Amino acid sequence: MSRGETLLVTDFAAISSSRSANPASALRDCRTAFIGVGIASALVNILYLTGSFFMLEVYDRVLPSRSIPSLIALCLLALLLYGFQGVFELIRGRMLVRIAGALDESLSGRIYRALVKAPLKLKMQGDGLQGLRDFDQVRSFLSGTGPAALFDLPWLPLYLAICFLFHPVIGMVAVVGGMILTLLTYLTNRGTQAPAKKAAEAGGYRNALVQASQRNAEVVQAMGMSGRMTERWERCNAEYRDENRRTSDIGNGYSAMSKVFRMVLQSGVLAAGAVLVIEGQASPGIIIAGSILTARALAPVELAIGNWRGLVSARQSWQRLKELLKVLPVTETPLALPSPQERLSVEALASGPPTAQRLVVADVTFTMRAGGALGVIGPSASGKSSLARAIIGVWPAYRGSVRLDGAALDQWDSDALGKHVGYLPQEVELFAGTVAQNIARFAPDATSEAIVAAAKAARVNDLILRLPNGYDTEIGEGGMALSAGQRQRVALARALYGDPFLVVLDEPNSNLDAEGEQALSEAIMNVRTRGGIVVVVAHRQSALASVDFVLTMQEGRMQAFGPKQEVLGKVLRQQQKPAPLKIVEGQETKQ
């Protein structure tokens, strides 16, 4: 193993031990590896002089002396140097690939957590996967030829200095050529930056539309929306195609200009060398050596222009990635708290969507003791599901707080809190995997006993055993191998896994038959019996069979809270109360 690769292994171990590093610190942790790449680049660029000096010696020494042994010795020496050059090129490429892998090892988990948390904290655009694409773009650039070109650019002055040593005219021709290529590089950067950014945004919108259409494929097909959605996608795709084409045209145009100019420059150096030889100011070997050296001096500039689009995209991706992780920073793990066992307290809670600064729930206050069950009722859009999201902490508390045994939810580590919370959302979607994995929340240390216990608590054990492979049945992406009712009951078992203290069920019987509703009632009673707390959001009164308290919501505010019979009786009396009479032009009408 080379010294550079040894340094990289050391850096890789350091980065792997710092999984919470931000992008800037992750790159800093790679500084030793980048130094190794720089050393390898120095050796490669020095060895690139082999061809120029080989031709110089052949024309100035071998041909005049007609010495075959000298030619053989030069060839063997050149062959050895070319071999070393190839080895160092290989080492540099392998080191850059491993730097990209080290960054992946350091940041991938952090980026995944940020992408999962982003919909709860930020207003997402497109399909929400831009951060992942940005990370892939940066990693792909680091493992490509772009960084090698950047490491070769600082050696341009060395080649130019040697050109001046050959002859000042050759040096000036190379300098002028380098200045023109540098100008082309600047124009390439300026011309491709804006369209590359627009192309990335358009690509995100296009992908989001495809994913939304796939999720709603039945609706699109059944209601004849296919043609209109196709037209909409074609407009998005046309915008993406146009911006991509514009970026490519600009980049390819400047790249073609640089290639042609370098060929012209190389021929110009040959012509200038020929004039110098004719006038007796240089040897014949200077013609070929100067041409080769000038071409080599400007090759990194041309390579940088060719990779400029990737560099611009990687730089923009890196900035977006840094901004994403800055907005969603890693929080320090709070002090571990004991498992909640006594009460759930909601104190003057005001909450709303994290991506919109507006209140959907306001002034909600109640307390539930261990062994209690609360039913939340009210008309549509009254804030019931919003209250459920605020209680489990996925929506922020703008005012007030939600507390378990006196500790506010933000005093808990999210993973630690999750062990004490079970949640069944209104729209159930399972993950690709087996039934057992979904019930166990994909915990690697889940035991068969705990999985089966959760399934039995949800009265879904018999249903699972009737599946083709029982608990090992693969349910497919989104749980599509199961019916809506089966998915809801498996999700209920997932909510009950591990005997959580707080179980929040949002419309848990929306897809259940009579047997499923009976299983739901028994599951709620089991949670109460073992000392847990259940919050049930319900439209159908059958879901309230096992609750002992009821809370009514109206326009985002709590209207009543108390024992079930008392609150339901009040609601029933209000519904049966006749509307007041209003006198309109001598006639009595109901309000």
- Least confident span in 132-146, 210-224, 363-377: 210-224
Mean pLDDT of the chain: 80
DSSP states of 235-302 as a string? HHHHHHHHHHHHHHHHHHHHHHHHHHHHHHHHHHHHHHHHHHHHTTSS-HHHHHHHHHHHHHHHHHHH
Q: Give the whole-angstrom CA distance, residue 185 versus residue 589.
A: 81
Q: Give the whole-angstrom CA distance, residue 59 versus residue 169.
A: 20
Three-state DSSP at 377 gives strand
Average pLDDT of the segment spanning 216-227: 71
**pLDDT tens, position by position, 225-267:** 777 778 888 888 888 888 888 888 887 887 788 778 777 877 7
pLDDT at 450: 92
Tell me which range, 243-257, 318-332, 410-424, 444-458, is most confidently predicted by mean pLDDT: 444-458
For the chain, give the number of residues: 591
pLDDT at 584: 44
pLDDT at 9: 42
Tell me which range, 121-135, 181-195, 452-466, 508-522, is most confidently predicted by mean pLDDT: 452-466
Does the structure show a pLDDT above 60 at 19? no
Residue 175: CB partners within 8 Å, gap ≥ 6?
160
pLDDT at 4: 43
CATH numbers and ranges of domains, the chain: 22-196+248-327 (1.20.1560.10), 343-576 (3.40.50.300)
pLDDT at 501: 92
User: Which helix (H) or strand (E) covers residue 114, if one does?
Assistant: helix 68-121
- Which tokens in the block code for residue 449? 């006993």
Does the structure show a pLDDT above 80 at 498? yes
- Which tokens in the block code for residue 531? 């000392």
Average pLDDT of the segment spanning 403-411: 87
Average pLDDT of the segment spanning 442-447: 88
Three-state DSSP at 421 gives strand
Q: Give the whole-angstrom CA distance, residue 178 versus residue 298.
A: 6
425 close to 395: Cβ distance less than 8 angstroms: no
Amino acid found at 555 = E
Q: Are strands 373-377 and 581-584 parallel, antiparallel or unpaired?
A: unpaired
Instruction: Give all strands of the β-sheet with 407-408 in edge-to-edge order.
Output: 407-408, 397-404, 343-351, 361-369, 557-563, 549-554, 373-377, 533-537, 502-506, 421-424
294 close to 177: Cβ distance less than 8 angstroms: yes
**pLDDT tens, position by position, 524-550:** 999 999 999 999 998 777 778 889 899
Q: How many CB atoms are located within 10 Å of the residue 305 CB?
A: 26
Q: At what angle do helices 284-306 and 156-166 cross, to 10 degrees?
A: 160
pLDDT at 222: 67
**pLDDT tens, position by position, 31-51:** 888 888 889 988 988 888 888
**pLDDT tens, position by position, 94-142:** 888 888 888 888 887 888 877 777 766 666 665 567 777 788 888 888 8
Residue 349: CB partners within 8 Å, gap ≥ 6?
361, 362, 363, 364, 365, 387, 390, 397, 399, 400, 401, 402
Does the structure show a pLDDT above 50 at 589? no
Report the chain's C-alpha Rg in angstroms: 35
- Which tokens in the block code for residue 78? 């050149």
pLDDT at 219: 67
- Least confident span in 185-194, 393-402, 470-479, 520-529: 185-194
Q: Give the whole-angstrom CA distance, residue 440 versus residue 451.
A: 6
Does the structure show a pLDDT above 60 at 18? no
Q: What is the 3-state composition of the chain as percent helix, strand, coil, each rounded to the nearest 5?
A: 65, 10, 25
Average pLDDT of the segment spanning 268-289: 79
Helix H, strand E, coil C: the string for 546-589 is CCCEEEEEECCEEEEEEEHHHHHHHHHHHHHCCCCEEEECCEEE
pLDDT at 124: 62
pTM: 0.67
408 close to 402: Cβ distance less than 8 angstroms: yes
pLDDT at 29: 78
Query: In terms of pLDDT, which residue wins out, 119 or 461?
Result: 461
Residue 327: CB partners within 8 Å, gap ≥ 6?
121, 122
- Least confident span in 351-360, 425-434, 497-506: 351-360
Q: Which of left, alpha, beta for 123 (phi over 0: left; psi -120 to 50: alpha)?
A: beta
Q: Give the whole-angstrom CA distance, residue 372 versus residue 364.
A: 18
pLDDT at 367: 92
Amino acid found at 43 = L
Q: Is the dihedral of CA 13, 43, 78, 296 positive or negative?
A: positive
